[in-house]
Amino acid sequence: MRFTHFAAIDWSGATGARQKGIAVATCRIGDAAPVLERPGHVWSRSEVLDWMLGLKGDWLIGLDLSPSLAFADKGAFFPGWDRSPADVRGLWALVEEISADEPNLGANSFVDHPEASRHFRRHGGRCGDLFPPGAGRFRVVEDASREQGLCNPYSNFNLVGAAQVGKSSLTGMRLFHRIDGRLPIWPFDFAQDRPYDRVSETGPAVVEIYTSIAATAAGLRRGRTKIRDGVTLDRALAALGSAPHAPLVRYDDHATDAILAAAWLRAVAHDPTLWHPDKLTPTLARTEGWTFGVH
């Protein structure tokens, strides 16, 4: 493994200039516990973008958001819409174009778009006519993570409920649009015949993570993965080979998610099987992507 630094970013799709739900934790190779970057600071999404672009060295950066939407199930992101993109970069560009006038990397304009809104479940009982009955559409990796007992994913087309991840993912697509070509993003930027070899180059690399996978790997029960006290956090860190953390001023699940996920990235980044998921095809790598940690 050539990575020497690790970062986990708990992202937020909330409206506003700054989001209390954002946390950034980092660590070096070794066993020292991850620390929060700028503890007590309320980050904006643009600040996180600038921080990422300023990194030098061999960093593995995990972002807790989905960079894409379901595609494989219907052969399109937005079936029936003539502007439905053919690949993930087209999706990022479309979200950016429609949301361009919205500050703070917001994406409310996109989900309010007359065509896009048909595919989403939104607040106020607004459910698009093309949002399927039930939980919604899922990416291949989300189905795989459920089958492997790693987490309980939510559809990115569902924008309702405390556990939904659709809003953060859509705002994250605006971030990915900006880092595209500036930071390599796995698996989109790596040859699919040997992605692990390509990652063995130099400099930062970005992967999608799901903090619940890190928590499950640390021994927390699936569905009960949020940590809000220091004792539980240290127990989970120890399971990942990490020393105890420095006490936090405030324990919330955003900070602890980021800290634990950074330790998990350090513990598993050397595993070639995670860079070669069985179901990751070249088509998926161009459209849906993959969550690091799902094999």
Q: Where are the domains of the chain?
A: 5-67+182-275, 88-177
Among 65, 68, 67, residue whose Cα is nearest residue 10: 65
Q: What's the confidence (pLDDT) of residue 200?
A: 61
Number of other residues whose CB lies within 10 A of the CB of residue 184: 18
- Check: CB of residue 228 under 8 Å from CB of residue 253: yes
Q: What's the confidence (pLDDT) of residue 179?
A: 96
Which residues does the chain have with pLDDT short of 70? 1, 191-200
Compute CA 215 distance to the chain's CA centroid, rounded to the nearest angstrom: 15
Q: What's the confidence (pLDDT) of residue 202?
A: 86
Q: What's the confidence (pLDDT) of residue 221?
A: 83
Give a three-class secondary structure readout of 169-185: HHHHHHHHHHHCCCCCE
Compute CA 256 distance to the chain's CA centroid, rounded to the nearest angstrom: 16
Rounded to an integer, what distance in angstroms lies between the CA atom of residue 6 and that of residue 24?
11
Kindly report, residue by residue over 51-93, the tens digit of the pLDDT. Answer: 999 999 999 999 999 999 999 999 999 999 999 999 999 999 9
**Tokens standing for residue 125:** 């009982």
Rounded to an integer, what distance in angstroms lies between the CA atom of residue 15 and that of residue 263?
29
Rounded to an integer, what distance in angstroms lies between the CA atom of residue 246 and that of residue 263?
14
Q: Which residues contact 212 (CB under 8 A, 6 or more apart)?
A: 150, 151, 152, 222, 225
Give the mean pLDDT of the chain. Answer: 94
Share of the chain above pLDDT 90, in %: 89
Q: What's the confidence (pLDDT) of residue 239?
A: 98
Burial degree of 249 (CB within 10 A; 0-12, 13-18, 19+):
exposed
Burial degree of 120 (CB within 10 A; 0-12, 13-18, 19+):
buried
CA distances from 56 to 59, 115, 123, 176 (A): 8, 41, 41, 18
- Check: CB of residue 111 under 8 Å from CB of residue 120: yes
Rg of the chain in Å (alpha carbons):
18
Q: What are phi and psi of 127, to 5 degrees?
A: -125, 120
- Check: CB of residue 6 under 8 Å from CB of residue 60: yes
Kindly report, residue by residue over 97-137, the tens digit of the pLDDT. Answer: 999 999 999 999 999 999 999 999 998 889 999 999 999 99
**Tokens standing for residue 146:** 């459920």
Rounded to an integer, what distance in angstroms lies between the CA atom of residue 103 and that of residue 89?
21
Q: What's the confidence (pLDDT) of residue 191?
A: 60
- Could you tell me which residues are beta bridge partners of residue 60? 6, 205
Q: What's the confidence (pLDDT) of residue 192?
A: 55
